[in-house]
Amino acid sequence: MEIQGRECKEIKIGEHSYWFIEKYKGGDVRKMYNIMVVKGKLSLKEGTILLRLPKIFSILCLRVDDDVEPTLELIDNLSVSDYTKIQNQVIEEVTNLFTEIQ
């Protein structure tokens, strides 16, 4: 599905459908680098990703269900089970992105 001119893939978690970017552009990579750099070096450690989850999620996920913006409030109100699944998806997406780049 195309959202905001971007090709996205649907990932169902709990009762929601999350639309994650399928193909990244240079701007996405730049934003991710800005978030993932710790003390001047890129950190792909799981702990770093989890600490920055809201910012990363807002880059990777363009929409929830048909019309909901992916926000911090949305993440904060998820069940623990759904939140954990979102964490796992974000870790997978970030790892795949930076593995592809290297």
Q: Where are the domains of the chain?
A: 2-101
Q: Are 36 and 43 in contact (CB under 8 A)?
A: yes
Q: Is the pTM of this model over 0.85?
A: yes
Convert the pLDDT of each residue in 41-100 to its tens digit: 888 888 999 999 999 999 999 999 988 989 999 999 999 999 999 999 999 999 988 888
Convert the pLDDT of each residue in 21-46 to its tens digit: 998 999 999 999 999 998 888 888 88
Residue among 89, 88, 68, 67 at smallest CA distance from 77: 68
